[in-house]
Amino acid sequence: MKILSNVFLNQKKLTVTNKKIATMLIAMFAVHAAASNAACNGYVGITFDDGPTSNTTTLINLLKQNSLTPVTWFNWGQHVASNPSLIPQELGVGEVQNHSYTHPHMANFTYQQVSSELSQDNQAIQNAGAPKPKIYRAPYGELNSTIRQAAADLGLFAMTWDIDSADWNGASTAAIVSANNQLQNGQVILMHDGIINTNNAIAQIAANLRAKNLCPGRIDPTNGRAIAPSGSGGSSSSSSSGGGGTGTITVRARGTSGQEQIQLVVNNTTVATWTLSTSYQNFTVNNSATSGILVKFINDATNRDVQVDYIIAGGVTKQAEDQTFNTGVFQSGACGGGNGHSEWLNCNGAIGF
């Protein structure tokens, strides 16, 4: 469907001079964003298993140098017990989580055996000064109902990964970089602490993610998905290098075809453009605005419609169907023809929050 929303009319009224200034401002903002991590199209989970090791300090320095933080460490309990002083260093660049105490194959373990492995690792990690783990990554990716139950009873979400870098299996630095390049918003990659090819991949992984405005995130302990760093991770990890922290805007939306594009416009400035999939996804940027926020559908065509579930701005959830400003929903025979109160954008137009 076709309609010129008020937003578009306003844009057309811009003079050439104003457009140039606007372009310059956007370019300046982009430079700032690249430097400070201000704009994130999404978050990915950068994870390292099996540490701490004699390599941990080197790896942490590489992560810091390349601003590839925060990361998640899935620590091997025996290694924690022999290197407890490395845990505070790990906490300085991320979160420390559970990867079992002796790293055994557990598919045939009893509930008690699994529980013992996981609780011993929790104890070693906490003894070294880290908060109680909330996530368990299964060695070898071996999960079953017994393992999941034992983990859940210890307050641990059991997970594996979305993408395996295969660094444990001799993958080249280029292959590790390439695996990381497949990461999409919310996904988590498996890497390891103690592998030289992984160390050598860090700079390029960071550069590639930055080019796509994908930011390292923490892992949500309720579902194993990568999300924005909260800045409230652990007692020792007071600094979140993700920037912002409290000031984020999250948009939850999907499209009917998976080709729909939306933009987040804050106080008349476009701060992000996202392509939707047919399933709901959360898109997050670092921005402290709590009003003057538009979610705008920009590429309407046959069979394309956008459904916006809600946004979260300044920590407050605002449902799309509670908003009266909606120039993109088809109501009363026209785009934006009614009083809003809809999750839908059937035409190019915006929901105002």
Q: Which residues bind Zn ion (CB under 5 A)?
A: 49-50, 139
CB of 49 to Zn ion, least distance (A): 4
CB of 132 to Zn ion, least distance (A): 20
CB 234 within 8 Å of CB 96 = yes
| Smaller CB separation from Zn ion, 156 or 214 | 156
Query: Is the CB of 50 or the CB of 167 nearer to Zn ion?
Result: 50
- Containing 203, the helix (H) or strand (E) segment is helix 196-211
Is the Cβ of residue 49 or residue 220 nearer to Zn ion in the bound state? 49
E strands, 132-268, where? 135-137, 157-159, 163-164, 188-192, 214-216, 218-219, 226-227, 248-255, 261-266
- Nearest distance from residue 222's CB to Zn ion, in Å? 23
Residue 10 burial (CB count, 10 A): 10
Q: Which is nearer to Zn ion, 78 or 275 (CB)?
A: 78
Single-letter amino acid, residue 308: V
Q: 106 vs 265, which CB is nearer to Zn ion? A: 106
Reference 167, options 216, 202, 136; nearest CA is 202
Determine contact, residues 322/341, Cβ cutoff 8 Å. Answer: yes
Residue 137: CB minimum distance to Zn ion, A: 8
With respect to Zn ion, which residue has the nearer C-beta, 195 or 313?
Answer: 195
Angle, helices 111-127/145-153, rounded to nearest 10 degrees: 40
- Any idea how long the chain is? 353
With contact defined as beta carbons under 8 Å apart, do 267 and 292 qualify? Answer: yes
Question: Could you tell me the two tokens for 171?
Answer: 């993958």
Question: How, if at all, do strands 42-49 and 71-75 pair?
Answer: parallel
Tokens of 81: 């017990």
* Shortest distance, position 74 Cβ to Zn ion, whole Å: 7
If the CB atoms of residues 136 and 283 are measured against Zn ion, the closer one turns out to be 136
How many CA atoms lie less than 13 Å away from 38 in the CB half-sphere? 13
Closest to Zn ion by CB, 92 vs 104, is 104
Q: In the bound complex, what is the minimum distance in angstroms from residue 177's beta carbon to Zn ion?
A: 21
Closest residue to Zn ion using C-beta atoms: 49
The dihedral sign for the CA sequence 15, 19, 20, 24: positive
Output the smallest distance, CB 69 to Zn ion, in A: 21
We find the least distance from the C-beta atom of residue 44 to Zn ion, in angstroms, to be 20
Contacts with 28 (C-beta within 8 Å, 6 or more apart), sequence order? none
